[in-house]
Structure 1
Amino acid sequence: MKLVLAAVMHSPNLGDGVIAACLDKAAQEYDQNLTLDWLDLAGRSSPVPSPTQQSRRTAVLNVLDAMPTVAQQMLAQPLVSAQVRKQLVPLLPAKFDRAQGVIIGGGQLLSDVHLNFPIKIARIVAEAEARQLPIALHGVGVAQEWTAKGARLFGRLLQSPMLRFISVRDDASRAHLSAHLTRLNSPQVPDIRVFPDPGMLASDLYNGDVAARPSPRQRIGVGITHPVAIRAHSSSATDVPHQAWVKWYRTLAAELAKNHQVILFTNGSPEDEAMLAEVTGLPLSANIERLARLSGPTALIDFIGGLDGLAAHRLHALIVAYSLDVSSVGLRWDAKVDAFFDLTERSKYLVDAPALPPSKVSDLIIKAGQTSEAQTRRTDLQSAAHDGVRAAISALIP
């Protein structure tokens, strides 16, 4: 029994691979005879970019970031369409052969930044419709704003007669998707269900021993994110200069290093790695180290599982930390992070950076350990994440 899992599991941002790995693990637990055949929407087979790809991606993002939205789309659309034609389409015959359905799932897929996901998802829908395969949209995040062109492309999915199941990862995404469907004049059929992000199940893939963490807390991870990503995906514009971010990260690391071993890391995105190189380009104070780029999603899970605390922008660094009961502070930048902290009832640990002094962030990390009530909430959310995977599969294979 085979289903196609269409997502961005081989994105250089390893958080996307965490989602796919967790979804795959949960699917196997549901039915050992079920195979999820991974299909990366960009046609990738590995999350490790070449140095050339790294520098090209950061340069392109910087150029697009400086343009108005209409100009961004005019430049990006032929680039994305060419990627689909050259890298994704050749994979489709083998991936869809003998498949019984398609899951489009995980991550902020219903976002039309640069028209990247709308174009790619529309091609997957066309393939599924041509083969009369049912489609489940599962556990996705939904951006509040879509352009007219992005909405038309997403309409290929949302108005498809093969769409059997819709779930999103938080209440905010459900509200956003409901509003988009109204604007598209589409009925909400099937109903929009809410299940936690599959990344909540990261603890099922952890290879270490949570109980073996040293006490008192010693190892603190600081996730580094490039400002170009923050500007591209932020729900509110930010005018913080690039060098101000470099200085803030360095100051935060120095503040934490007074009492802890500090590890500066990224989720793997090329632009974040470039930012990490800037932050660590000058000598750092003692007790601060730079982590080499992690090799894959499980390596990210294992690294975070070995920490005692974490501060980061990237959503799946925070989700993995939550799943593994690692104290974490979120750095606000995107509504999806706000939604996650609302869902986990930890909004007091989501802060505005770089406006908040690093000393305040340091204090919060130490206080962010989970109470018994929070542990119960975490268990409930993980159970619901399992339920979501089962519901999506059941909609395709009754």
Structure 2
Amino acid sequence: MKKTICFAGLLSETNLGDIVIIESTEGLYKKSLAGKGNFEFKRLNLQFGQVSFLNKVVRKLKRLATEKLKLDGNRLEIEMLKKHYRSQLKEAELVVLVGGGLIKYKYQGVFLYLIALIETAEELGIPVVINAAGVEGYSETDPRCQLLKMSLNKDIVKSITTRDDLETLSKKYMHQDSKIHIDKVADPAVYSDEIYKTNKQESDTYGIGLVRGGIFLDNERQLTPEEVAIFYADLISEVESRGLKYQMFTNGSSSDNELLPLIKNKLGRNHLELIVPKQDDELVNVISTFTTVIAARLHANIISYSLNIPSIGLVWNDKLALFGDDIGYPERFFEYNQLDAKKIVDAAVLANEQGYEQGQWNKYKSTAKSNIDVIVNKWIANEL
């Protein structure tokens, strides 16, 4: 008899880093489960991206009615999400939240997805594993954060691992008497080289990853879209002045293209070539063609790492700096007030010469896989 695992993630995201997370997590689970039984793998979209137009209209009307009557809008949204999730989880025997920036409450409404999914799994008696989640902030006074905390501590949640802030997860989100398995692991996308069967290609081209202009301000870092565009223009000028080859790219999100006209204007150009991947495998392949990457998107850096390609991170969120610390190269990650084009190109050239210390590279990567092996073995033995 087949046992069904449901992988839950942000399937509608145009930022292809989220799709790489899903593919990598599922791929690592499949490798760990190989030869251990008969399994079926399904996916659940945490978002409403695949819901019919009629249902979207109904949801909108319910929201408007809730606002007018001054009801609890969060609870209404959670109940609508639960209805969406319940129909997809009926046959599941394990739910794996695949990771990404999940444990957060300030924007994007992701905390509602987690609460709804955990409550639904609890009602159906399906154990929940949260894999390599990003932890982004905590508040004792924000009701959204406290709702999320309550759900994370439910008995149906068997394991929570984080790719970054273990201290905030273990000391603030989790009850001190909690028996839930907690650990710090690498993001599953560190195995994207194996999952996508892609290797680093011989190249002397530097990759420059664009990001949307407002991302720094949205994360309480005082750098305006125009200042971000000026930085990119300065960066391109600096790379060109040194005679280095470069190629601009994005992680696929259309919003990451928005600064291109402003960058061209700052440089006095009519054209700048920009690669915009349409599929996740294309993103991995594009990054594989670079010798070193300079990028703000976390998964441009993580995919580079998986391919043994050095990267320089532009920090708009603490998760990038934490990744730099974890891999042993904090000096390769620059905060918003350190975005000096000359210093960043200096760092990129040095990183290109140094690469990664291979013992640490292998050790850090292995944490993503070893934790999944532990979860799989416990689940098969009915000890999760």
Q: Could you tell me how far apart the structure 2 residues matched to 1:3 and 1:209 are?
A: 29
Q: Could you tell me how far apart the structure 1 residues matched to 2:246 and 2:373 are?
A: 39
Deviation (angstroms), 1:286: 10
Deviation (angstroms), 1:101: 1.3
Does 2:212 align with 1:226?
A: yes
CA contact (8 A) 1:325 1:370 kept: no
Residue 113 of structure 1: SS of its match in structure 2? coil
> After the TM superposition, which residues 181-196 of structure 1 pair with which residues of structure 2 at under 5 Å, given as runs?
181=173, 185=175, 187-196=177-186
Change in Cα spacing, 1:149 to 1:268, as seen in structure 2 (3 Å) is farther
Change in Cα spacing, 1:280 to 1:373, as seen in structure 2 (3 Å) is closer
Higher relative contact order (CA 8 A, sep 6+): 1
Change in Cα spacing, 1:270 to 1:276, as seen in structure 2 (3 Å) is same
Name the counterpart of 1:327.
310
Q: Could you tell me how far apart the structure 1 residues matched to 2:74 and 2:178 are?
A: 32
Does 2:301 align with 1:301?
A: no
Q: Could you tell me how far apart the structure 2 residues matched to 1:190 and 1:129 are?
A: 15
Deviation (angstroms), 1:231: 2.2
Name the counterpart of 1:252.
235
Q: Could you tell me how far apart the structure 2 residues matched to 1:28 and 1:15 are?
A: 20
**Identical aligned residues as a percent:** 20
> After the TM superposition, which residues 12-161 of structure 1 pair with which residues of structure 2 at under 5 Å, given as runs?
12-32=14-34, 33-44=38-49, 78=73, 85=80, 88-89=81-82, 91-114=84-107, 116-146=109-139, 148-161=142-155
Deviation by residue 1:211-242 (Cα, 9 ceiling, x = unmatched): x413xx2x111111223222223xxx333232
Deviation by residue 1:249-273 (Cα, 9 ceiling, x = unmatched): 1121122134233222221233322
Residue 183 of structure 2: SS of its match in structure 1? strand
Larger deviation, residues 10-19 vs 261-270? 261-270
CA contact (8 A) 2:310 2:355 kept: no
Q: Could you tell me how far apart the structure 2 residues matched to 1:122 and 1:318 are?
A: 29
Name the counterpart of 1:213.
202
Name the counterpart of 2:54.
none
RMSD: 2.8
Name the counterpart of 1:261.
245
Unaligned 5+ segments in structure 1 are 47-74
Deviation by residue 1:17-69 (Cα, 9 ceiling, x = unmatched): 111111111111112443332212113359xxxxxxxxxxxxxxxxxxxxxxx
Q: Which amino acid in 1 is paired with 2:22?
A: A
Deviation (angstroms), 1:97: 2.6
Unaligned 5+ segments in structure 2 are 52-69
Deviation (angstroms), 1:169: 1.4
Deviation (angstroms), 1:340: 0.6
Q: Could you tell me how far apart the structure 2 residues matched to 1:34 and 1:281 are?
A: 54
TM-score relative to the length of structure 2:
0.83
Q: Could you tell me how far apart the structure 2 residues matched to 1:181 and 1:355 are?
A: 31
Q: Could you tell me how far apart the structure 2 residues matched to 1:163 and 1:355 are?
A: 40
How many residue pairs match? The answer is: 355
Residue 229 of structure 2: SS of its match in structure 1? helix
Q: Could you tell me how far apart the structure 1 residues matched to 2:251 and 2:106 are?
A: 20
Residue 177 of structure 2: SS of its match in structure 1? coil
Does 2:154 align with 1:164?
A: no
Deviation (angstroms), 1:373: 6.4
Change in Cα spacing, 1:358 to 1:83, as seen in structure 2 (3 Å) is farther
Q: Could you tell me how far apart the structure 2 residues matched to 1:369 and 1:392 are?
A: 37
Deviation by residue 1:322-369 (Cα, 9 ceiling, x = unmatched): 110112111122111111111100111112346432122112111113
TM-score relative to the length of structure 1:
0.80
Q: Which amino acid in 2 is paired with 1:357?
A: D
Name the counterpart of 2:361.
378
2:258 to 270, 274, 284: 274
Q: Which amino acid in 2 is paired with 1:10?
A: S
Change in Cα spacing, 1:8 to 1:311, as seen in structure 2 (3 Å) is same
Q: Could you tell me how far apart the structure 2 residues matched to 1:113 and 1:80 are?
A: 17
Residue 383 of structure 1: SS of its match in structure 2? helix
Larger deviation, residues 97-106 vs 36-45? 36-45
